[in-house]
Chain A
Amino acid sequence: MILKPGARLISAVCTAELMTVKAPKTELEVTIGGVVTIASAAARDGSAAVVAGHEGGTLMGKRYVDEADTIELLCTKAGTGAVAVNGELLQLKEAKALPASD
């Protein structure tokens, strides 16, 4: 699929949900826990499980980026599966915590 900022990604195998912050305008395959994401949490039937090598999970509020920094996904609901794009596991983007200013 082609991802646009604001596009939601929902895991087929765990509770994880992510939001697209940035993405290249090319065809991508996004998986969570090793299985292609689905359109809505209601479509999750519980038949699939996290694939080996795609554990590690996604954490609420954290951003995940690829090596080349072309894609950035923000986790809005935590899950047990890790997120990958075209087979490459995304990495946690470290961000400095700032004091609450407003």
Chain B
Amino acid sequence: MHLSSFVEMVESGFDDRALLGDHNSRITGTDFGFLVRLGATQVHNKYASVMYVGENHPLLPIALFAVAWAGVPFVPVNYRLEDRQLRSLIERYPNSLVLTDQTTAARLESLSPLILDEWLREISNIDLEEVGPIEPAENDDDVAVVLFTSGTTSEPKSALLRHRHLMAYLLGSVEFGSADESEAVLVSVPPYHVAGIANMLSNLFSGRRLVYLKSFSAQEWLSKVAEEKVTHAMVVPTMLARIVEELDGAVMATSTLRTLSYGGAKVSERIIRLALQAFPTTGFVNAYGLTETASTIAVLGPEDHREALASDDPMIQRRLFSVGQVLPMVEIEIRDDHERVVEAGTSGLIYLRGEQVSGEYAGINLLADDGWFCTRDQGFIDSDGYLFIEGRVDDTIIRGGENIAPAEIEEVLLAQPGVAEACVVGLPDDEWGQRIVAVVVRQSGHNLEPNILQDAVRKVLRGSKTPEEIIVRDSLPHTETGKMLRRVVQSELLARIGGTAT
């Protein structure tokens, strides 16, 4: 199916339901369909793609669906990138309409961008009778959305999501119209992240009103939740950490929030426990997915969270740090270095297959002939089917021939009092091939002693997994969506000893 069919479903199912806008202006399903048709006439036969370089915008869905209806790709770009990188990404897509926000427009002058608000004004002045409506595009093998990978390990790549991938995800994981009219979702994940796109699409599909936060701050997030009686929200770990910090122990006992989902990177045990205490009546959902899988492929639901918290059984308790079970329409295999499927509890590389799995970048399709996609994430599935993620295989440290996942050591460090963040990397070593170095950030009001932390790791793991060196720092670099920039930490440490990355 094509996203243009999605527009017709919205018109049919939610004709007079408010879907977008705030309490001043409400856009119903009928209005939405009309604006999408107007927008499509402006894009059709004129542009090869439409890019969006800017903050979140309450009417962004109109742009995305108008572009889909017109049959060209929608390409959201991270407006926070520095000028040179931003330009080079935009230049990858010639003959594009570049939509932007007020602040970013000035930086893009030579690319003749159009501010989204102006585009919306322009299309609302179109007389549909006069220009003639255009037929909806219907080839579901066309590219719907292009997303640039965050580039934590290399240059950003253009991941391609076709209409069939996005619709397969929606049809498989969301019941159309399942939200009641009082529900509202707060979208605070940026539009250039797969979670931002999935957030928009799946909530619209369920008929839930979309409330947008232009750009995230914990204070605004909390006041928007109260102001708009928000029932659902999705945040990345950095946001969850900031919300918990902002609350500073306050308990939101009467929050309207029914569901708070988090994902996009690993959340520390401390933050998740604090979050569960701060929102005692909210159901927590942990979601795992990749850009290349059109968002979520595994979920840990509210009941799993409750059960893990209440259990005395360590095997059930630890599920709190799993990403739950794989969605019914996705197949998963954990394979060893020889691509043999391993048994439950054994870690290996995560392979996925399913209609939502794109596994494709511009010019390169990484899907095997039989449809399997290697995520390059490492993890294991326990005997009850819970999936645990151990990090990128490319981050694996090989010390004295032993493969060591940094996440395993980081978990132990994060469990120590006073440790707010931890990053473990491998640096070249003449004797061992690589040696383990940890960088830790302290929580305010705590002091950290490297040798005490080393003892703690040695006690839980083994000597061979104990960092040879532990450095205490004020902060660690992250992407805007909370992924730790391990590569940056590693090159900084290498620069210190005058080496280069391997």
Contacts and interface: CB of A to CB of B under 8 A. Distances in A.
Interface of A: 4-6, 8, 17, 19, 21, 60-62, 74, 76-77, 95-102
Contact of B177 (A4, A8, A76, A98): A76
Contact of A6 (B2, B12, B296): B2
A59 B283 CA distance: 27
B374 to A, nearest CB: 23
A100 B4 contact: no
Given A74-B176, A99-B299, A100-B259, A17 B327 contact: no
A102 B261 CA distance: 6
A24 to B, nearest CB: 16
B301 interface: yes
Given A61-B175, A100-B202, A101-B287, A21 B1 contact: yes
A61 B13 CA distance: 9
A77 B174 CA distance: 16
For chain A, what secondary structure do more than half of its interface residues adopt (helix, strand, loop), or is it mixed?
loop
In the A-B complex, the 9 residue pairs with the smallest Cβ-Cβ separation, listed nearest first, are A6-B5, A99-B301, A101-B287, A76-B12, A61-B177, A76-B13, A61-B176, A102-B198, A101-B296
B302 interface: yes
A101 B173 contact: yes
B445 interface: no
B295 A102 contact: yes
Interface residues of B, number: 38
A93 to B, nearest CB: 11
B5 A100 contact: no
B178 A17 contact: no
13 contacts: A5-B2, A17-B13, A19-B8, A60-B177, A61-B13, A61-B176, A61-B177, A76-B13, A98-B299, A98-B301, A99-B299, A100-B174, A102-B234
Interface string B234-263: 100000000000000000000000010101
Interface in B162-209: 171, 173-178, 195, 198-199, 202-203, 206
B31 interface: no
A100 B202 CA distance: 9
Contacts of B299: 98-99, 101
B67 interface: no
A4 B8 CA distance: 14
B12 A101 contact: no
Contact of A60 (B13, B171, B199, B261): B13
Contacts of A6: 1-2, 4-5, 8, 138, 140
Contacts of B94: none
B314 interface: no
Contacts of B296: 101-102
Contacts of A21: 1, 171
B9 interface: yes
A62 to B, nearest CB: 8
A101 B326 CA distance: 12
Interface string B1-30: 110110011001100000000000000000
Contacts of B177: 60-61, 76
Contacts of A4: 138
Interface in B251-284: 259, 261, 263, 283
Contacts of B259: 99-100
A74 B450 CA distance: 59
A101 B285 contact: yes
Nearest to B295: A102
A7 to B, nearest CB: 8
Residue with the greatest number of chain B CB neighbours at <10 A, chosen from A21, A76, A101: A101
B176 A100 contact: no
B335 interface: no
B388 to A, nearest CB: 17
Interface string B134-156: 00001010000000000000000
